[in-house]
Chain A
Amino acid sequence: MLAGNTAQARQTETSLPDATVPYVRVAGLKKRFGGRDVYASLDLDIGRGEVVSVFGPNGCGKSTLIGIMAGIISGDGGSVSYGGERVQSVRIGYVFQNYRDALFPWMRAIDNIRYPLEFAGVPAPDRDRRVDEIVALFDVGFDLKLYPHQLSGGQQQLVSIMRALVVKPEVLFLDEPFSALDYEMTLFVRDQLQKVLHLSSMSTVLVSHDLEEAIYLADRVVLLSKRPSSVAEIVPVPLSWPREPEIFADERFVRIKAHCFETFRREVRR
Chain B
Amino acid sequence: MTEGDHTWRKLLQPLYGVVGLLLIWQIVSATRLVDPFLLPSVSSTAKAIWVGFTEGPLLFDLSRTVERTMLAFAFASVIAVPVGIALGAAPAVYEKLEFVIDFFRSTPASAVFPLFLVLFGAGNVTKIAVAAFGAGLVILFNAAYGVINARKTRVLAAKVMGVPQFRILTDIMLWEALPQIIVGMRNGVSIALIIVIVAEMFIGSVDGLGYRIFSAQMLFDMPTMYGAIFITGALGYVLNLVFVMFDKYFVHWSGK
Q: Mark B216-256, 1 if CB is under 8 A from A, else 0.
A: 00000000000000000000000000000000000111001
CB distance from B180 to the nearest CB of A (A): 13
A96 and B256 in contact, given A104-B172, A116-B161, A120-B161 (Cβ under 8 angstroms): no
A82 located at the interface, meaning its Cβ lies under 8 Å from any Cβ of chain B in the complex: no
Question: How far is B172's CA from A119's CA once the two chains are assembled, in angstroms?
Answer: 14
Question: Which of B50-58, B77-85, B149-157, B187-195 is the interface stretch?
Answer: B149-157
Partner pick for B157 among A94, A106, A167, CB 8 A cutoff: A94
Q: Are B154 and A101 in contact (CB under 8 A)?
A: yes
Nearest residue (CB) in A for B163 is A119
A147 and B156 in contact, given A116-B161, A119-B161, A120-B161 (Cβ under 8 angstroms): no
> In chain B between 141 and 175, which residues have their CB closer than 8 angstroms to a CB of chain A?
151, 153-154, 156-157, 159-164, 167, 171-172, 175
Question: How far is B178's CA from A98's CA once the two chains are assembled, in angstroms?
Answer: 21
CB distance from A160 to the nearest CB of B (A): 9
Chain A residues near B178: list those with CB within 8 A. 106
Chain B residues touching A, majority SS: helix
CB distance from A165 to the nearest CB of B (A): 12
Q: Are A115 and B161 in contact (CB under 8 A)?
A: yes
Q: How many residues of A contact B (CB 8 A)?
A: 22
CB distance from B203 to the nearest CB of A (A): 42
CB distance from A111 to the nearest CB of B (A): 11
> In chain A between 73 and 103, which residues have their CB closer than 8 angstroms to a CB of chain B?
88, 92-94, 96, 98, 101-102
Interface centre among B156, B157, B178, B256 (most CB of A within 10 A): B157
Nearest residue (CB) in A for B255 is A149
Q: Are B161 and A167 in contact (CB under 8 A)?
A: yes
Question: How far is B55's CA from A77's CA once the two chains are assembled, in angstroms?
Answer: 81
A72 and B253 in contact, given A102-B154, A104-B172 (Cβ under 8 angstroms): no
Q: Are A106 and B151 in contact (CB under 8 A)?
A: no
A105 located at the interface, meaning its Cβ lies under 8 Å from any Cβ of chain B in the complex: yes
Question: How far is B156's CA from A115's CA once the two chains are assembled, in angstroms?
Answer: 14
Question: How far is B157's CA from A104's CA once the two chains are assembled, in angstroms?
Answer: 9
> In chain A between 139 and 158, which residues have their CB closer than 8 angstroms to a CB of chain B?
147-149
A71 located at the interface, meaning its Cβ lies under 8 Å from any Cβ of chain B in the complex: yes
CB distance from A110 to the nearest CB of B (A): 15
CB distance from A172 to the nearest CB of B (A): 11
A260 located at the interface, meaning its Cβ lies under 8 Å from any Cβ of chain B in the complex: no
Q: Are B161 and A148 in contact (CB under 8 A)?
A: no
Partner pick for A104 among B160, B164, B175, B252, CB 8 A cutoff: B175
Q: Mark B73-100, 1 if CB is under 8 A from A, else 0.
A: 0000000000000000000000000000
Partner pick for B162 among A101, A104, A119, CB 8 A cutoff: A119
A70 located at the interface, meaning its Cβ lies under 8 Å from any Cβ of chain B in the complex: yes
Q: Are B161 and A101 in contact (CB under 8 A)?
A: no
Selected A-B contacts with CB under 8 Å, 15 pairs: A70-B160, A71-B160, A72-B159, A72-B160, A94-B156, A94-B157, A101-B154, A105-B253, A106-B178, A116-B161, A116-B162, A119-B163, A148-B253, A149-B253, A167-B161
